[in-house]
Homo-oligomer: A and B are copies of this chain.
Amino acid sequence: MAEGSRADHGDRLSPLLRPVRAGNGFEEALEQILQVIRLGLVADGGRLPAERELADRLGVSRVTLREVLKVLADQGIVESRRGRYGGTFVRERPGPVGDGSAAELRRRIARVDVEDTLRFREVLEVGAAGLCAAQGLDEARAARLRAALDRTRDAPLAEYRRCDTLLHLTLAELCGSPSLATQYAAVRATVNDLLDCIPLLVRNLEHSQHQHTALVEAILEGDPDAAAEVMREHCAGTAALLRGFLA
């Protein structure tokens, strides 16, 4: 008997031997464009890249991409305009994608390994914060970080989630590991999905804001340990909230 049996001490292979594609091209492209919109990477009324470029970047044909855009347009999430300086625009207030019912939410949660998501998120965030602080940011990058922080301060409640996401995403981009940024974007989309399932508590927002400020300070001062520690607490806060509400 060789060692091929599947369930002997937990299968070392499963981390590697996973589906090469999560679905067909259509589904994956749809998922990624939805993530871009839901993460707020394109402002309301903003324009997505042109179809040809978008198809190219996503690695799908334009035909397939257009089927995706058709669905999004039918849902009222985007709008296409023809002619030069036309394009595909994100409509104002896209609203939640699902129907918003409790059943819908439960279904969404059920598809996610919440512990996995929260842990992975914390690792990436703490790592990004540490890296940024350790390497120091040049003036341009520091300015980007400050700008993102300021935007979270001025944000109206409805926009807070988006600005918060953008701040964290900025940090992930600045840390010098594109792979980390990509993974963070993906996991953050999942986190936002979960956050949409629980109420928004104003007290938590205030707390978050203090942490954001302390975080950016620690990073700009080049103190990796402090930055990591603040970020860890920040993540732990969200995690506790989610664990509590989703338990």
Give residues in A with beta carbon < 8 Å to B: 2-4, 6, 9-10, 12-21, 25, 28-29, 32, 35-36, 39, 41-43, 45-50, 53-54, 57-60, 85, 87, 89, 113, 115-117, 119-120, 122-124, 126-128, 130-131, 144, 166, 169, 172-173, 175-187
Contacts and interface: CB of A to CB of B under 8 A. Distances in A.
Nearest to A229: B225
Copies of the chain in the assembly: 2
Contact of A85 (B2, B25, B183): B2
5 contacts: A4-B50, A6-B53, A116-B179, A117-B179, A123-B177
A186 to B, nearest CB: 8
Nearest to A87: B4
A68 to B, nearest CB: 11
Given A119-B177, A176-B116, A183-B183, A13 B28 contact: no
A177 B120 contact: yes
A51 to B, nearest CB: 11
A173 B14 CA distance: 10
Given A4-B48, A13-B49, A21 B18 contact: no
A159 to B, nearest CB: 16
A3 B49 CA distance: 9
Contacts of A60: 20
Report, nearest first, the 3 A-B pairs whose CB atoms are least far apart: A123-B127, A19-B59, A4-B47
Given A4-B48, A123-B180, 11 more contacts: A9-B144, A15-B169, A16-B32, A16-B39, A20-B28, A21-B59, A120-B177, A123-B127, A123-B131, A126-B127, A183-B183
